[in-house]
Amino acid sequence: MILDYTYTDEDSHPESGTEIRWYRNSTLQTEHNNMLEITANHLFEGDEWYVTVRPKDNALFGPINTSSTITIKNTPPVIVSLDIIPSSAPTTLDNLFVNWLSSDSDNDILQYSITWYLNGEVNSSWSTSATNATLYAGNTSKYQEWYFTLQAYDGENYSTTISPATNITIVNSKPIVLNANFTNIEPTNDTDIIITYSYYDADGDSENKSELVVIWYKDWVIQPQYDDYTRINSTETNNGEVWTYLIRVSDNDSLLSDLIPSITGASIGGGFTNNLPNAVDLTLSPLTPTTANILTAGYTFSDLDIGIGQTERDYNISWYMDGVFQSEFSINDSITIPSSATSKGQEWYFTVKVFDGLEWGPINTSLTITILNSIPRITSGSFEESDVKTLDNLTY
């Protein structure tokens, strides 16, 4: 609040020593004596303020002038920022997380209203009044366009309704290869090697078999002459050899899956014993994270058969928060957890297992870390002009 007044003197004497007294709820606020301004941090909703001015010309005081009484009104809350995670190219396998930051200069407890829009129309089944909102995977379809609006309410006033700058379009999901194997994992040298696999697509797209990719390895050495074959003739194999492959499938939109190794190898004539791979030296960093930090998993691949050409072909990471499996970060074997997904006091750890092209190794568990409190910061301020509120200046 800012005091403004006009000083006059019939003798044209200059002003000197004028007394200014501020009153809150009829009580003199001595710490503000002779001040022209009351800063916003001293103003609280419902308080009643007035000010008195006793002019002086260095010799004499004039009469005391008293302002009208002003009641400090409620200031509407403000949505400072908001976004949606993931912010680009989500698929039907992704949860859509709404993230926002709000403020209220009166420190009121806020409620939130979130309204989801599908292809430009309100989707009432996902309108919610919650402190967090998630549009869960499985409730979206390929090529749908989604956005949302957010409004805060402090019990008396609503904030401005806002929405993200851009809409989210659900993109085509990658198809997935399941159970890549052989019809016979120990064929004789007069038996053909034949691959088997299952195709899955979250969008229900059919497989485009003309774009099937198969990469063959014999004793862990690539065999490019057999690219994209689904069968190796027995005349091309010999006893003691171990055959494996990588496979990639495509949907009818020509979107390719990840390159997946076969579950095991085909050992011609049998007799090969594989040493299990292992994930060692697990790390979870940082060791003392706050809600501002990204969590990162790390490990080292170990295998006694590295000397004969075996290497890491795949890995599987699963995340746990407070002992509960977190599917949204585990389905794609994510190495990191975004800071927006963590809260103070949560306990996080991960498990990992690795694949050498023939077998999966044991599941190993990382240490557990606890999310600590972040350092507070000032993010934004706001002023309203229509009514007097806790962030307003007053002119008398």
**377 has pLDDT over 90:** no
Report the distance separating Cα 92 and Cα 57, nearest Å: 77
CATH architecture entry for 78-169: Sandwich (2.60)
Res 127: pLDDT: 59
**385 has pLDDT over 50:** no
Domain ranges of the chain: 19-71, 78-169, 176-267, 278-370
Res 312: pLDDT: 86
- Of residues 211 and 386, more confidence is placed in 211
**261 has pLDDT over 70:** yes
- Asked if residues 290 and 372 have their Cβ atoms less than 8 Å apart, the reply is yes
Res 383: pLDDT: 41
**233 has pLDDT over 80:** yes
- Of residues 388 and 112, more confidence is placed in 112
How confident is the model over 5-16, as a mean pLDDT?
Answer: 91
Residues 6+ apart with CB under 8 A from 273: none
Report the distance separating Cα 385 and Cα 395, nearest Å: 12
Q: How many other C-beta atoms can be found within 10 angstroms of the C-beta atom of residue 385? A: 7
- At 133, the pLDDT band (50, 70, 90 cuts) reads confident
Tokens 């969590």, located at residue = 295
Res 308: pLDDT: 57
- Asked if residues 2 and 393 have their Cβ atoms less than 8 Å apart, the reply is yes
Q: Which CATH number fits domain 278-370: 3.40.50.1000, 2.60.40.10, 2.40.160.20, 2.60.40.420?
A: 2.60.40.10
pLDDT digits (tens, 9 = 90+) for 141-156: 899 999 889 999 999 9
- Of residues 165 and 199, more confidence is placed in 199
Please tell me whether residue 214 adopts helix, strand or coil conformation.
strand
Residues 6+ apart with CB under 8 A from 324: none
Q: Which CATH number fits domain 176-267: 2.60.40.10, 3.30.750.24, 3.40.1030.10, 2.120.10.30?
A: 2.60.40.10
**178 has pLDDT over 50:** yes
Gyration radius of the chain's alpha carbons: 34
Q: Which of 40-44, 122-126, 233-237, 307-311 has the lowest mean pLDDT?
A: 307-311
Report the distance separating Cα 49 and Cα 41, nearest Å: 14
**331 has pLDDT over 50:** yes
**382 has pLDDT over 60:** no
Q: How many other C-beta atoms can be found within 10 angstroms of the C-beta atom of residue 260? A: 20
- At 249, the pLDDT band (50, 70, 90 cuts) reads very high
Going by C-alpha positions, the residue among 259, 176, 156, 257 that lies closest to residue 217 is: 259
Pairing label, strands 176-182, 133-135 = unpaired
How confident is the model over 238-256, as a mean pLDDT?
Answer: 91
- At 130, the pLDDT band (50, 70, 90 cuts) reads low
Res 311: pLDDT: 79
